[in-house]
A and B are shown apart, each in its own frame.
Chain A
Amino acid sequence: GAGVSQSPSNKVTEKGKDVELRCDPISGHTALYWYRQRLGQGLEFLIYFQGNSAPDKSGLPSDRFSAERTGESVSTLTIQRTQQEDSAVYLCASSRSRGANEKLFFGSGTQLSVL
């Protein structure tokens, strides 16, 4: 596609349920990032994938959060046993590589609301 695509655009779930968020990066982009954005705040780095290398999970806030990516394609972010504090917009971004100064292209995000 022309840009980074995320689905669903909105997700409402009950506390304790698991959710899965999907990201389709720009074709040919080897690097993929997940960020979390709480209401009125900046972007919080979660996890990073580069090709077939081991992902950088240093930003994941707890073991309830996990992400997968197969090769250089789709990525899924899974949140288990969701809590109300998980409510946020989850943004995915991709770039051509992990080189210095490579621009990130963002999707529109998934708005997650945990009731």
Chain B
Amino acid sequence: GENVGLHLPTLSVQEGDNSIINCAYSNSASDYFIWYKQESGKGPQFIIDIRSNMDKRQGQRVTVLLNKTVKHLSLQIAATQPGDSAVYFCAENRDAGNMLTFGGGTRLMVKP
């Protein structure tokens, strides 16, 4: 079936380095994508979103890239900090009803 999935279940980076978390989606009808960050014991928190009519969107230290040709989404975190350690989920919105479908998540571990 169609789904949103992640390439890497765990990513370990050195503090100060840049991180790239990847996500693949298979539903070409999806027009809205979101990245959430989930710290231990907490609910997911919105990080950044992007619509399908865009290729790139930047936030504070984070950038989301969307490649519709290969149905690939990535989250780039600049100058990764220990506080960035968490599980990151990508999610797609397949219709206008905000029915988010979440991927399996990638755990980001930041080494001091």
Contact = CB atoms under 8 A, between A and B. Distances in A.
Interface of A: 4, 31, 35, 40-45, 48, 56, 91, 93, 95, 98-109
A45 B49 contact: no
A102 B91 CA distance: 13
B93 interface: yes
11 contacts: A42-B103, A42-B105, A44-B102, A56-B97, A93-B43, A95-B98, A100-B96, A100-B97, A100-B98, A101-B32, A103-B49
Contact of A99 (B98, B101, B105): B98
Interface in B71-101: 89, 91, 93, 96-101
Contact of A31 (B34, B98, B101): B98
Instruction: Say whether chain B's binding surface is mostly helix, strand, loop, or mixed.
Output: strand
A86 B51 CA distance: 34
B32 A100 contact: yes
Interface residues of B, number: 24
Contact of A45 (B36, B43, B89, B101): B101
Interface of B: 32, 34, 36, 41-46, 49, 51, 89, 91, 93, 96-105
A29 B76 CA distance: 31
Given A104-B46, A105-B46, A41 B98 contact: no
B96 to A, nearest CB: 4
A101 B51 contact: yes
A55 to B, nearest CB: 12
